[in-house]
Amino acid sequence: MRMKYVLSEVLVGLWRNVTMTIAMIITLGVSLTMLGASGLIYTKVADMKDLYFENIQVSIFLKTDISEEDRAALGSRLEADPLISQVTYVNKDEAFQRFQEMFRDSPDLLSAVKADQLPESYRLNLVDPEQYKSISEQYSSAAGVDQVVDQSQVLDKIFNLFTAGQNVALAAAIAMAVAALLLVANTIQVAAYSKRREVAVMKLVGASNWFIQAPFVLEAVVAGLIGSVLGLGALVALKKFLFDDALSALQGLFAPVSWSEVLLTFPVMAGVGGLISAITAWVTLRFYLRV
């Protein structure tokens, strides 16, 4: 009976002030969406770092007028360097092939570049990608070297962009969370006020504290859980319509986001949403009900 009483009180409580309940659920939902999104970006950036850094290369582009001896000397120097795990020589034809491959969708660009305009290069895989600087210092002044280009420099910029995106999502999540928690606190105050007579009688006749508080706390938890379901829905929609449809052209660039990863954010969102709503409600009651 007591469980039934508590549950029916929760439903009555949510319905009593339904506009406030909806506002509370939406803000919780948006906040949790941001939280889930930032979590996804975080794991994706880590995935992509692994993926990219594994294949990362430092390219040493050679001058067009490099002599055979210089090229051979540079080649054997690179082979002997302990910082370098693998050396690949790319001649002008191969460079042109790669170029054609890369820009096959842009015929204008293709026709503007001739085969012998692209420089020869050595492609290096580093033992430790972070060691780029010493490689650059050693070889940029070597005879016949035009420039040393590190892909990780470029990638870092991209990753910084992702990290910035993640931080923005996290900041938005926190800001929305503050708004959501204030709404939860307010809803609980209104609920406690509208039930003040019942609460006074319950305290008088000796109802236990948990029994008095449970309907209010559960009301907030239910709102938090509904909010996390909204958040899951939003993330599913984001994946389906933004990632899979609108951004599908860029699929090679991003590490793919799988459905299971999206679904796995749900327990986190539900846990965070339910828990912080419950704590907020409980703290509010401590101040407001003095039970």
Q: How far apart are CA 153 and CA 149, in angstroms?
A: 8
- State the minimum distance, in angstroms, from the CB of residue 200 to other proteins: 7
Task: Using CB under 8 A, count the residues that bind other proteins.
Answer: 17
Query: Of 103, 193, 211, 259, which one interacts with other proteins (CB under 8 A)?
Result: 211
Q: Is 283 in the site for other proteins (CB under 8 A)?
A: no
The DSSP result for 2-55, as a single string, is: HHHHHHHHHHHHHHHTHHHHHHHHHHHHHHHHHHHHHHHHHHHHHHHHHHHHHS
- State the minimum distance, in angstroms, from the CB of residue 284 to other proteins: 18
- State the minimum distance, in angstroms, from the CB of residue 9 to other proteins: 11
Query: Of 3, 18, 80, 204, which one interacts with other proteins (CB under 8 A)?
Result: 204
- Packing angle, helices 196-205 and 209-237, rounded to 10: 140
Q: Is 250 in the site for other proteins (CB under 8 A)?
A: no
Give the amino acid at 291: V
- State the minimum distance, in angstroms, from the CB of residue 202 to other proteins: 5
Q: Is 193 in the site for other proteins (CB under 8 A)?
A: no
Q: Is 205 in the site for other proteins (CB under 8 A)?
A: yes
Specify burial of residue 111 (Cβ count, 10 A radius: 0-12, 13-18, 19+).
Answer: exposed
Q: Is 203 in the site for other proteins (CB under 8 A)?
A: yes
Nearer to other proteins, 10 or 45 (CB): 10
Q: Is 206 in the site for other proteins (CB under 8 A)?
A: yes
Q: Is 3 in the site for other proteins (CB under 8 A)?
A: no
Q: Centre a 10 Å sphere on the Cβ of residue 102 and count the other Cβ atoms it contains.
A: 11
Q: How far apart are CA 101 and CA 116, in angstroms?
A: 16
- State the minimum distance, in angstroms, from the CB of residue 258 to other proteins: 48
| CA distances to 62, 132, 220 from 285, in Å | 72, 58, 12
Q: Is 157 in the site for other proteins (CB under 8 A)?
A: no
Query: Of 46, 164, 201, 247, which one interacts with other proteins (CB under 8 A)?
Result: 201
- State the minimum distance, in angstroms, from the CB of residue 194 to other proteins: 11
Nearest to 172 by CA among 66, 29, 69, 280: 29
Cβ-Cβ contacts under 8 Å for 219 (sequence gap 6 or more): 10, 13, 14, 187, 188, 191, 281
- State the minimum distance, in angstroms, from the CB of residue 291 to other proteins: 9
| Alpha-helix runs per DSSP H in the chain | 2-16, 18-54, 68-80, 92-102, 107-112, 132-139, 151-194, 196-205, 209-237, 259-288
Nearer to other proteins, 11 or 164 (CB): 11
Q: Is 288 in the site for other proteins (CB under 8 A)?
A: no
Residues in touch with other proteins (CB under 8 A)? 1-2, 5, 197-198, 200-209, 211-212
